[in-house]
Amino acid sequence: MSAPSDNPPRRGRHVAPAPLWDWEDAGPRDRDGGTAVALGDGDTPPRGVPPVVVPRNLGAPDRNADDGSSSAQGGQRHRRGGSRHRRRMRLNRRGRLLLLGVGALVLVVVGLVAWVQAESSSSGRPGAPVLVHVRSGESVSAVMATLTRDGVIGSSLAFQLWSVLHGQPTPRPGLYQLRRNLSFATASAQLTAGPNVFALTIQPGTTVAEIANQLSQLPGNLAQAFVNDARTGRVPSPYQQPGGRSLEGLIGAGTYQITPGESAKALLGAMVARFDAEAKSVGLSPGTTANGVSAYGVITVASIAMKEGYFSQYFGKVSRVVYNRLANGMTLDMTSTVLYSLGQDGGTVTPAEEQVTTPYNTYLRPGLTPTPICTPSVAALRAAAAPPAGTWLYFELTTAKKGVMVFSASYTTQLAAEQQAAQNAAASPSAQTGAGAGS
């Protein structure tokens, strides 16, 4: 047995631990997060008594606290602090999202502006010409879509955005000649300036002088150059006689488009080409001879038939009258040829005018006129190239209103037709035309 202790504890005696130390005075922490506190009288615990470990969350209350209300107030302050923290976090997230949105918007705007700027500037030189037809009531957006489709501009949407700052064009109905690969500014200016392509329609029976008069009503100075080139031989025709220079009667009827910068030579070239195709369609060629005349003579007869016959059903018979009178050595006595020399179209010829000295006065000069007197139609060309057989030497338009023409082989019959025409003209003066041969 071991020796008894000098101071054995009394049986039943309770040894109270020393007071717990405050948190700030606590010593080293144990592994469970508590604080080792010495018990007993002094700094060391009594022998055999282990130190008491007080967990951190079970520490002594604040010595400054008066009662339990202090803990409640601290909890409330803690909760208010947490709310403020969460609000700050939410505001920070919203701010970041707002900044991201603004940044993305700026990038979109910058990219859009750069794209519009790139589209508005043409890349390289203008390309091939393009005809654009702006119809009445057509919207600007529809016109821009057409320009995009034809390659004039790169994007109709970019043009619309560009127009917000630079103004929208106001195109008028009509034809425009534009070019591919134009800048927005150039395309807008040309559309605002108005149509620059004009239609020139030449009716059968029209003369070079009358065509020039039509051209004089269009922008530019094409009319005078047209007359000069049509009468000086600058533009040749395979149907001209040797040494001939005039294109009278050698121009195809129809509609031509006058584009910006159009030259008289180019326009006449197109007209001559169209006439050549028309002549070929009726079996006429530069080497053709018919009824004792050359191809150029046939064209001249066709032009006279156009002016004298009035109606296509009479072109053949009028042509036959011309050939018969030529064959008989007679003057043609055609009022239309005298009127041509006077610069007139239609009407009567006075006795004094019948005596005017001019190569086109067929009352005085035998044979055909030096040139055709107008642009003949295809029907007149066909009739003059192959007229019906007959012995007629005269014709008279007896009833202009109804278009009745009488053809005669004798002068006596012709006089009767002239008398009938005079009576009808007296009854309806406005219908008198003066058409006839051999009166």
Q: Does 176 reside within a domain?
A: yes
Same domain, 263 and 175: no
Q: Indicate whether 157 and 178 sit together in one domain.
A: yes
The residue ranges of the chain whose pLDDT is under 50 are 1-5, 12, 14-15, 18, 20-41, 58-59, 65, 439
The pTM of the full predicted model, rounded to 2 decimals, is 0.70
Contacts of 20 (CB under 8 A, 6+ apart): 37, 52, 54, 60
Shared-domain flag, residues 246 and 339: no
> Is residue 51 a part of any domain in this protein?
no
pLDDT of residue 126: 85
Q: Are residues 177 and 216 in the same domain?
A: no
Residue-level pLDDT at 2: 47
Q: Which is nearest to 196 in space by CA: 285, 271, 259?
A: 259
Q: Do 433 and 377 fall into the same domain?
A: yes
Together in a domain, 121 and 153: yes
Choose among 310, 311, 307, 317: nearest CA to 338: 307
Q: What range does the domain containing 310 cover?
A: 289-437
pLDDT value at position 1? 46
In the prediction, which pLDDT does 35 show?
A: 47
Is residue 76 situated within a structural domain? no
pLDDT reported for residue 25: 46
Residue 434 pLDDT? 52
Last residue of a domain, one of 281, 303, 330: 281
Residues 315 and 379: beta-carbon distance below 8 Å: yes
Task: Say how far apart CA 319 and CA 308 lie, in whole Å.
Answer: 10
- The enclosing domain of 177 has a CATH number of 3.30.1490.480
Do 374 and 249 meet the contact criterion of CB atoms below 8 Å apart? yes
Instruction: Look at residues 197, 63, 58 and name the one whose alpha carbon lies nearest to residue 134.
Output: 197
Q: What pLDDT, in 10s, does the model give residues 22-61? A: 444 444 444 444 444 444 445 555 555 555 555 555 445 5
Same-domain check for residues 293 and 430? yes
Task: Please indicate, yes or no, whether residues 120 and 101 belong to a single structural domain of this protein.
Answer: yes
Among residues 319, 341, 438, the alpha carbon closest in space to that of 389 is found at: 319
Type and span of the H or E element at 124: none
Other residues' Cβ atoms within 10 Å of the Cβ of residue 315: 26
Same domain, 240 and 260: yes
Domain boundary among the residues 262, 281, 300 is at: 281
159 vs 177: CA distance, rounded Å: 19
Q: Are 192 and 202 in the same domain?
A: no
User: Which of 196, 218, 241 represents a domain boundary (last residue)?
Assistant: 196
| Residue 156 within any structural domain of the chain | yes
Residue 23, domain member (yes or no): no
Name the domain count of the chain. Answer: 3
Do 323 and 398 fall into the same domain?
yes
Domain assignment present for 252: yes
In terms of Cβ atoms closer than 10 Å to its own Cβ (0-12, 13-18, 19+), residue 251 is: buried
**Is 347 part of a structural domain of the chain?**
yes
Residue 350 lies in a domain: yes
**Residue positions counted in the chain:** 439
Same domain, yes or no: 187 and 204: no
Give the per-residue pLDDT at 112.
63
